[in-house]
Amino acid sequence: MIEKKRFKGQEGVTLLETLVVLALLGMVLAWSFPSILNTLETRNLENAAREVLTTLQRAKYLAVEDKEPYRVRFFNDNGPWQYVIETENSPGNWITTPGFVPKTISAKFNVTVSLPSDIITISSMGLITDFDTNQNSITLQSPKLDNFNQPDLRIVSVFAGGSIRYEESQSEE
């Protein structure tokens, strides 16, 4: 058996080796950082759009379950877009549905609400009562993703029969 001799000073890692490893890790992180940011931006955009989708589905469920009309109203009071589920407590008088907290869409997204009076009204049968084929969507757009030429649009569309569609798209240049 060959015996290895250890000399003083040969144990552990040198400062130079540590610095080289740290430099390599720094370069890998710097290279991947934009990708990480894009992933976070994509997730934020998708979460915001899916929250709109979920709210519309919840309003439809409540309308059918309670057998009375509900609506989702979008509003923008010189700030970020907000939306709320409302119920009609007397003819023509709508109030926020008890237990529902108004939701806000992040101001970092460009929001286009293309709905009659910025409202979706759902009948007790789950049908959209104020449907307009030219005004039936909510679009969220991320300028950051657009700058990186990635799919930057999330579109939530409603249809007369009460179906709701979610789609991802790219801005046209």
Asked whether residue 7 is assigned to any structural domain, the reply reads no
DSSP string, 43-106: HHHHHHHHHHHHHHHHHHHHHHHHTS-EEEEEE-SSSS-EEEEEEEEETTEEEEPTTPPPEE--
Reply yes or no on whether the pLDDT at 6 is more than 70.
Answer: no
User: Greater confidence, 149 or 57?
Assistant: 57
Reply yes or no on whether the pLDDT at 3 is more than 70.
Answer: no
**Torsion over CA: 17, 21, 26, 28 (sign):** positive
Mean pLDDT value of segment 18-27: 85
3-state secondary structure of 19: helix
Asked whether residue 2 is assigned to any structural domain, the reply reads no
Q: What is the mean pLDDT of the chain?
A: 88
CATH of the domain at 88: 3.55.40.10
Asked whether residue 122 is assigned to any structural domain, the reply reads yes
Each residue's pLDDT tens digit, 128-147: 998 998 999 999 999 988 88
Q: How many structural domains is the chain composed of? A: 1
Range of the domain at 72: 15-169
Taking the model in full, what pTM does it have?
0.78
Asked whether residue 8 is assigned to any structural domain, the reply reads no
Asked whether residue 6 is assigned to any structural domain, the reply reads no
Asked whether residue 10 is assigned to any structural domain, the reply reads no
Cα-atom radius of gyration of the chain, to the nearest Å? 26
